[in-house]
Amino acid sequence: MTESNPNARLEAFSDGVFAIALTLLIIDVRLPSNVSIKSTAEFWGALLRITPLIFAFVLSFGIILITWVNHHNSFKLLNKSCSAFIYANGLLLLAVAVVPFPTALLGQYLLTEYAAPAVILYDSAIALLALGWIFMTRAALKYKLGKSEKAVAIIRENSRYAFIAFPAYVCFAIIAIWFPLAVALVITAIWIFWLVLGIKLKHE
C-alpha cells in the first residue's frame, strides 16, 4: 500500500517530541518542599514567590505551541521529503527538546542577580529554533519539496522570517548581558504578537 502522506511518520514523530517537551515544562512549577505553610496568607505568599516559574512555564508553553502550529502548517505545504529536510527537522526538534531546561533556569533565576545567564541561555534556545526553521525552509526550497507554486511562496516567506529572527535573537542574547529583564519582556511581547497574529490568520 502506498502511503498517501510521505511525511506522515516524520510529522507523527515530531508531534511526539512536541508533546513531551510541553509536558516537561510543568515539572518544575511547584512549591518548594522546604516551605512551611501554616495559613492561607502564607499559601498565597508561597504562590507569589513562584510567579517567575509560572511566567516561564506559560511563556515556553506558548512558544512551543506556536512552533507546533507553524510546524503543522508547514508540513501541509509539502508533498515529499528528503534527507536534508529530515535532518533539518531534527535540528528544530532538538531546540524544542532543549526548551524545558532554560525554562527552569529562567523561572528560578529571573528575579535574582543571576538573571543574565538564565535569559541568555533561554534566548539562545529560541535562536536555535529559528536556526532550525532556516535549515528546514532552505531544504524545502532547494530540493523542491513544495506541492505548489503558492506553497513555495509561503515557504520562501517563512524562510525570510527565520533569517530575520535568528540574528535578532542573537542580538537579544548579547543585550541580555546588561539588561536581562528588558530582554525577557521583549521576547514575551514578540511571542504574544505571533500568537495574536496566528489566531487572526486562522480566522481570515
| Count of Cβ atoms closer than 10 Å to residue 154 Cβ | 17
How many residues are given for the chain?
204
End-to-end C-alpha distance for the chain, whole angstroms: 37
pTM of the shown model: 0.92
Helix (H) or strand (E) holding 204: none
146 three-state secondary structure: strand
Give CA–CA dist 2/4, Å, rounded. Answer: 6
Looking at residue 201, what is its pLDDT? 65
The conformation of residue 103, written as its DSSP 8-state character, comes to: H
Q: What are the pLDDT tens digits along the chain (204 aa)?
A: 345 788 999 999 999 999 999 999 999 898 877 777 888 988 898 899 899 999 999 999 999 999 999 999 999 999 999 999 999 999 999 999 999 999 999 999 999 999 999 999 999 999 999 999 999 999 999 999 999 999 999 999 999 999 999 999 999 999 999 999 999 999 999 999 988 888 876 443
78 φ/ψ angles, rounded to the nearest 5 degrees: -110, 150
E strand or H helix that includes residue 169:
helix 149-175
**pLDDT, position 3:** 55
What is the three-class DSSP state of 177?
coil
What pLDDT score was predicted for residue 177?
97
The set of cell numbers assigned to 116 is 543574565
DSSP string covering 121-143: HHHHHHHHHHHHHHHHHHHHHHT
